[in-house]
Amino acid sequence: MRKEIKTGIPGLDEMLGGGLPEGSVTVISGPPGIGKSNLAMQYIYNGIMQYDEPGVYITIEEGIEDIEEYAGKFGWNLRACENNGKLAILGREIFEGTDMDLGILKDIINKINAKRVVLDSLTLFNYLFKEETARRLHILRFLEIMKKSRCTTIMTAEQQGNLLDIQYHAEHFLSDGLMMLFWSRYKANNERCVWVVKIRGNKINSDIRPVKITNEGVVVYPKEVPFTLVKYGGAGFS
């Protein structure tokens, strides 16, 4: 039996059919500000604090200090995790230069014995390369390292278009798992929602469920129906 890597995010593991299969790669897509980075960091932080599974968080755009400060608002002390050798936060430098082998990443994964990796975000990662060939080689190399090291990986991605007319990209098909965060809207009301589209090998709950960002982080409500559906009998999702 494959091991399920628990996200520890309230309500989410139930939706995923137990968690993320060990060594799998999952894409979390959604529009700006929906909570992709929060969810991804919470996955890493919970891994360290609840499951003793060290993690690597790769940020392409945001500064490392900003991430630490932002996490602090949820009460997550990332500095302490880094000092204890359980967390490494890396910037886009690891993909720059001539190191196509991504040796720095490999070394850090080995050094802290990482079990979880986040790439935030795949969309911005794609912008790092002028040449399509270099971009593809880097992503393939990245995925190869994840598979070889048995790291369970989350990649965030920007999602364009609305839920009824999704623009699917190669990464949606390449990944083992896919979940979408999106806004459900009716008149002046907006609510965050999640749709677990696929987790290869798991019996998922693929119904649309509400999500909230609280002072403790992301919370999923696997037994509740989005308020727009309850109150208004099914609103157009956008």
- Residues lying near ligand ATP in the complex (CB under 6 A): 30, 32-38, 213-215
Q: In what order do the strands lie in the sheet with 152-158?
A: 87-90, 55-59, 116-120, 152-158, 25-30, 177-186, 189-199, 209-214, 217-220
Please answer whether residues 47 and 116 qualify as being in contact, where contact means their C-beta atoms are separated by less than 8 angstroms. yes
Torsion of CA 204, 2, 147, 113, to 10 degrees: 110
Q: Which is nearer to Mg ion, 123 or 228 (CB)?
A: 123
Instruction: Say which amino acid occupies 82.
Output: E
**Parallel, antiparallel, or unpaired for β 55-59 and 189-199?**
unpaired
Interacting span for Mg ion (CB under 5 A) from 31-39, 136-144, 147-155, 199-207 = 31-39
Judge if the upstream peptide bond of residue 121 is cis by omega within 30 degrees of 0.
yes
Residue 63 partner contact from ligand ATP, Mg ion, none using kind-dependent CB cut-offs of 5 to 8 Å: none
For ligand ATP, the closer of residues 32 and 233 by Cβ is 32
Which CB atom, from 141 or from 169, has the smaller least distance to ligand ATP? 169
Closest CA to 92 of 116, 132, 134, 63: 63
Q: Given the complex with Mg ion, which of 15 and 40 has the nearer CB atom?
A: 40
Instruction: Supply the minimum distance, in Å, between the C-beta of residue 205 and Mg ion.
Output: 25
For tokens 């990464």, the residue is 171
**Residue 23 interacting entry, from ligand ATP, Mg ion, none, C-beta within 5 to 8 Å by type:** none
CB of 31 to ligand ATP, least distance (A): 7
Contact region with Mg ion (CB under 5 A), list: 35-43, 64-72, 91-99, 122-130: 35-43
| Nearer to ligand ATP among residue 98 and residue 214 (C-beta) | 214
Give the shortest CB-121-to-ligand ATP separation in angstroms: 7
CB 92 within 8 A of CB 128: yes
- Of residues 36 through 65, those in contact with Mg ion by CB under 5 A are 37
Q: Which is nearer to Mg ion, 37 or 153 (CB)?
A: 37
Q: Smallest gap, in angstroms, from Cβ of residue 235 to ligand ATP?
A: 21
Could you tell me whether strands 209-214 and 217-220 are parallel, antiparallel, or unpaired per DSSP bridges? Answer: antiparallel
- Taking the complex as a whole, how short is the minimal distance between the CB of residue 214 and ligand ATP, in angstroms? 6
Peptide bond into 149 cis (omega under 30): no
Which residues sit at the interface with Mg ion, rule CB under 5 A? 37
